[in-house]
Structure 1
Amino acid sequence: MKGPTEGKFQPSSAIQTGKRLLAVLVAAIVVTAAQADEPVVKDPHHGPYSQEIASVGSWKVNPGYLSLDPADTTRLMEKMQNPGVENTWLYAPEGLNRWFAVVNYQDAGHVNDDEKIDPEAILEQLKKGNELSNEERRKRGWPEMHLIGWQVEPHYEPDTKRLSWATLSEANGEKVVNYTTKVLSRTGVATVVLVTDPASLEQSIAELKAQLDGFAFNSDQTYAEFRNGDKIAEYGLTGLIVGGAAAAAVKTGAWKWALGILAAGWKVFAAAAVALLAGVKSLFKRRSA
């Protein structure tokens, strides 16, 4: 199994060009927001804070970190060219330094976790989902993204009930890494997607894992609280990776969460993420002293 640093993309001279282009994009977004005299992010929650997640759990926001409610997250993701990201919460270091993560909860039922994972077969399914995502991106005039392979192969932790993996994709010659963690509950799954610079992947994953220790389902919603009669999900661990219920949403045209998450569809040039995140913080409402 590959570790977070194995086969890591090393930034090249092309990244400087990507950074300049992305900086222009961020500047344009900031100007647009300023002209409207209305911040994109209106009500960020700064730690210490307890962020409720879909009424089934909460995420402890420590000092030095912040969270966004769904309305602010949707607006910010739209500005970052991720359409229809709804019922989703953002968690990040203050200033969105190095990384940010978004979390969504689906009450798809109790997922059996005794399935063997086949990374090669799953990768082929993800590539098919990637092409569906590109159909929508072409309609919007956005660059296509192509899935290259695993940055971190999928692996499951029975003790934490976390299923994690990372994909490596490419758009406009820039590499994009998306690290995903699925946390199983009694009645569904919380999906946490990390967006970061590939060069900072190992550090960002370590920070996210530390912050995830503050994420917990309510006492009656933990995986161990499963009871006879509870809804059972129609898929297992493999289905969670290839999209599960989200795949059906793509086929029916209901892109929403699936478009942004399925097959690493984020419109973030991660190789130039430092330039992007430095500009995005300008979209936030000025914090009161």
Structure 2
Amino acid sequence: MKKAILSLIAVFFSIAVWANEEDSLAMEKALMKQVYDSINASMKYSTGTIKLPDGTIELKVPAGFKFLDAAQSQKVLTEFWGNPPSKETLGMIFPENGGPMTEGSYAFVVSYESIGYVKDEDADKINYDDLLKDLREGEKAENEERKKAGYEAIHMIGWASKPFYDKENKILHWAKELQFGTSTDHTLNYGVRILGRKGVLVLNAVATMDELNLVKADIPKVIHIANFTSGNTYSDFNPDVDEVAAWTIGGLVAGKILTKVGLWAVIAKFGKFIVLGIIAIGGWLFSRFRKKKEEQTEEYIQEAEAVPAVAEVAQAPETPQSPEAPQGGTDQK
């Protein structure tokens, strides 16, 4: 895929050198669309019933949605969206007309955390305003770790949708509004947690804040796509043999579920910025080449302007000789 993108940039570069600025911008937009379309077209999706590794989880992907497997999802998340790699990713769920580089589209990243049976007795007692304050206070230490690993800081702006726990179906969901680095385009992370006998099924919606209503509208459908298989559901818990998780419902919302795999509690949707960055390299090379070309043209003009002056000197009359001196070409009698 990278080779395909770079090939497109090479074509853009070779043509754009001779184009004016307005045409170059139009070409850049066309190139970006070609890159996006190329990435989207390269993805292979599945629908229907999908059994994920180890048989603990089953997906029933209905009409209107499609599933991208783990290998392709890793590529999208790391290469195109700029996230740290994660072995826990099992796949991604996209709306039928969506794709990793589709404008106005979103995706749910599917993963599983085998942390044990999560008790939910505290669900009705949690003050989520206080939890928000705790999350903000914990930002500094987590962001230091992110910076050391070469990633941008993440700032919690607030709840895009306050946490809600469906005690009957054992499903927890909430939405965070986040700022990555100094970006003015805020990211939406809509988290869904489905509790099971030995762990938690994690669905993280990756979108922009503009897509919040779209994601909210799809939540009732999406939470029923992924389920634990028989023998692995929350009600199948056996206190004599099963491990109880150290985390509570509040801990899941706080993101502490991911401490054992690093501090990457959220996923960024930065595809357009990565592709723009690649295109910017081509644009930078183009501007450097054009600047060099302009410098060479300027030198040529200066040299060309200097030519008449040289000719003029060559054609100027010689300095008059002394009267006593004989004139060249005259015979003396």
The verdict on a shared fold, with TM-score over 0.5 as the criterion, is yes
1:60 correspondence with 2:63: no
SS in 2 for 1:152: strand
Which segment drifts farther, 40-49 or 88-97? 40-49
Alpha-carbon distance in structure 1 between the residues aligned to 2:42 and 2:147: 31
Residue 168 of structure 2 is matched in structure 1 by 159
Q: Give the deviation of 1:150 after TM superposition.
A: 1.0
Cα distance, 1:55 vs structure 2: 2.5
What one-letter code is carried by the residue in structure 2 that aligns with 1:114?
E
Conserved? CA contact 1:41–1:72, under 8 Å = no
Q: How does 1:176-255 map to 2 (within 5 A)?
A: 176-229=187-240, 230-247=242-259, 249=260, 254-255=261-262
2:117 matched to which residue of 1? 110
Q: Which amino acid aligns with 2:66?
A: L
Range with greater deviation from structure 2 (81-90 or 141-150): 141-150
Task: Report the 3-state secondary structure (helix = DSSP H, G, I; strand = E; otherwise coil) of the residue aligned with 1:63.
Answer: coil
CA shift, 1:243, in A, is 2.5
1:28: Cα distance to partner?
A: 11
Say if 2:109 and 2:204, in contact at 8 Å, map to a contact too: yes
Compare the two structures and name the one with the higher helix fraction: 2
1:1-289 to 2 correspondence within 5 Å?
27=32, 30=35, 44-52=44-52, 55-79=55-79, 80-88=81-89, 89-94=91-96, 95-96=98-99, 98-115=105-122, 116-139=125-148, 142-171=151-180, 172-229=183-240, 230-247=242-259, 249=260, 254-255=261-262, 258-259=263-264, 262=265, 265-268=266-269
Equivalent residue pairs, number: 236
Shift of 1:228: 2.2
Q: Displacement, 1:29?
A: 11
Q: Secondary structure, in 3 states, of the residue corresponding to 1:123?
A: helix
Instruction: Give 1:54 deviation, angstroms.
Output: 5.1
Secondary structure at 2:156 match in 1: strand
CA RMSD of aligned residues (A): 3.4
Letter in 1 for 2:130: A
Distance in structure 2 (CA, Å) of the matches to 1:228 and 1:53: 25
AA at the equivalent of 2:120: D
User: What displacement does 1:164 show?
Assistant: 1.0
1:179 Cα offset (Å): 0.8
Higher CA-based Rg: 2
Whether the aligned pair in 1 keeps the contact of 2:185 and 2:208 (CA below 8 Å) is no
Q: Give the corresponding residue for 1:15.
A: none
Give the direction of change, closer, same or farther, for the CA distance of 1:152–1:52 in structure 2 (3 Å limit). Answer: same
Contact kept, 8 Å, 1:105 with 1:188, in 2: the verdict is yes
Deviation at 1:141, TM superposition (A): 5.2
Report the secondary structure of 1:174's partner residue: coil
Letter of the 1:242 counterpart: A
Q: Is the 8 A contact 2:113 2:257 kept in 1?
A: no
Partner Cα distance (2:154, 2:193) in 1? 23
1:139–1:41 Cα change, 3 Å: farther
CA distance in 1, matches of 2:95, 2:33: 24
Residue type of the partner of 1:62? P
- AA in 2 matched with 1:68: L
Deviations 1:86-119 (A, max 9, x none): 2212111233352100111111111111102221
| SS of match in other structure, 2:52 | strand
Higher relative contact order (CA 8 A, sep 6+): 1
Q: Secondary structure at the match of 1:178?
A: strand
1:158-196 residue CA offsets vs partner (Å, 9 max, x unmatched) = 111111111112231222211101110111111111112
Structure 1, residues 246-280: CA drift from partner, whole Å, max 9, x if none? 22x3xxxx42xx41xx2xx33326xxx8x68x99x
**Counterpart residue identity of residue 205, structure 2:** L
8 Å CA contact 1:185–1:217 kept in 2: the answer is yes
Which amino acid counterpart does residue 238 of structure 1 have in structure 2? G
Q: For structure 2, which runs of at least 5 residues remain unmatched after alignment?
A: 1-24, 277-333
* Separation in 1, partners of 2:85, 2:188: 21
